[in-house]
Amino acid sequence: MSAASDIAKDHKLAVFPAFHRVADRKVVIAGGGDEAAAKIRLLSETSARLVVVAKTLSPASEAAVATSGAVWIDRLFAPDDLADAALAFAASGKEAADRAVVEAARAAGVPVNAVDRPEICDFYVGALVNRAPVAVAITSTGTGPVLARHIRAKIEAMLPGETGALARIAESLRETIASVFSNGTDRRRYWERFFSGSVADALKLRGEDAARRTAKELIGTREHTGRVTLVGAGPGAEDLLTLRAQRVLQEADVIVHDQLVPDAVIAMGRRDAERVAVGKAKGAHSVTQERINEILVERATRGERVVRLKSGDPMIFSRAGEEIAALEAAGIAYDIVPGVTAALAAASSAKIPLTLRGIASSVVFATGHDRHSNVLPDWANLALSGATVAVYMGRTVAGKVATRLMAAGLPATTPVAVVENAAHADERAFTGRLDDLPELSRRSDVDGAVLIVIGEAVGEAGANAAEPLAPLGALLEAA
């Protein structure tokens, strides 16, 4: 067999995902130990009639039977116990006994699962996310149950607890929507609004009755109400994006994004969502802030759900205030999803405590330039008082910043750190003293986005692979 055939085979499932109908049907669990208890608890999330067959019950199984309402048959398993069963579980913990249950189930035509014995199972039990009537099951085909549980935890966090109630309301309206909206596109647009707009918001904030009223009101509102969400993309690592940001990206009709937002984060949006790049790039003119404001208003006015995706946190050095003012003036609804700002990402990566008892009790977020491109000394007094200063967009003016701070009285020996491309795969960290900072603008090997941290707390950073800020030649020359 060729290597290509082997790869193709590796990508084919050995199982076919399916959901068994068990409502009001008998499901048999053969066994009374802790293995059986786990299955009883899991199956109690269904409306099946549970029958537990075991001579004795462990404390865990006894408690599971009591809370689930299962019927306990106090004896050893017999093949007749499988009569009219929808499913069977061999959970005795003993190989010979479990194999006997499997053989009896197969003879009776009942699908069977043997706990912790994947080689003799007819089906596997996935890690379950229950948002009844919505269910998500994850399986590793018996090879990695811990991995399946980790995936389940992520899905649990992403699916709001109200998901099931939202699905029930949708089911109750399905025939009404089909009769009101004869056009398939209109129906799809209605359900998109239903699941991601005002109905979902009403359910979360005011309960199921309010959500039903909102859903009915929505039927008569043919125009799609636009909305803008300012979303913080964080420093660039996909796993630092908030769960709310991921959800909003999936609901967007159009994503208006900065140049610095990585493609992998933008790709988290809905596949058919339009992407509009508006940020700065080397050698290319950026879209003006005035034009960005116009784009947000224009697209929301069309009835689209717009995500304005910004690096870091949208409320820190990202001109969110100007965009908010434009949306307010146009009467456009908007909300804001925070992100991990560069200072926090850089401090975590470089293991720098931004505050430290007895050393630094405050943090200053500063920018290397004002709106007229002048170096800002306004925060010098705060640095002198012991605050840790995180300087954004300061690479090209690092020398001027250091000169101004030293002229104001901050010691040349004050520890500094520079983090390039914080939280990215190509992140680099540099450490040194305040009088080393002018070297930053001279280094041709540092051309990514940098965050400068200045203050005594930097000297308390944890162990890391930081490089010296001043190259060896500069250090020898200074000596």
Residues assigned a catalytic role: 258, 280
**Residue 274 burial class via C-beta count within 10 angstroms: exposed 0-12, middle 13-18, buried 19 and up:** middle
**Cβ distance 254 to 273 under 8 Å?**
yes
How far apart CA 166 and CA 147 sit, in angstroms, is: 29
Taking each helix axis from N to C end, the angle separating 198-206 and 208-219, rounded to the nearest 10 degrees, works out to: 160
CA distances from 329 to 88, 296, 322, 323, 334 (A): 64, 12, 11, 10, 12
Stretch (H or E) spanning 127? strand 127-131
How far apart CA 473 and CA 2 sit, in angstroms, is: 55
How far apart CA 28 and CA 88 sit, in angstroms, is: 5
Per DSSP, what are the bridge partners of residue 284? 281
CA distances from 241 to 163, 230, 235, 353 (A): 21, 13, 9, 22
CA distances from 158 to 127, 244, 247, 259 (A): 15, 8, 8, 27
- Token look-up 């199982």 returns 15
Rg (C-alpha) for the chain, rounded Å, is 30
- Token look-up 């293995």 returns 35
360: number of Cβ within 10 Å:
20
Q: ∠ CA(240), CA(265), CA(364), 5° rounding? A: 45
Per DSSP, what are the bridge partners of residue 415? 433
**Sign for the pseudo-dihedral over CA of 183, 184, 188, 191:** positive
What are the DSSP calls for 89-149, one per residue? EE-SS-HHHHHHHHHHHHHHT--EEETT-GGG-SS---EEEEETTEEEEE--TTS-HHHHH
How far apart CA 289 and CA 307 sit, in angstroms, is: 16
Structure tokens at 399: 């020398």
**Sign for the pseudo-dihedral over CA of 421, 426, 432, 438:** negative
- Token look-up 């001579």 returns 55
Q: What is the DSSP letter of 284?
A: B
Burial 240-272 (b: 16+ CB within 10 A, else e): bbbeebbbbbebbbbbbbbebbbeebbebbbee
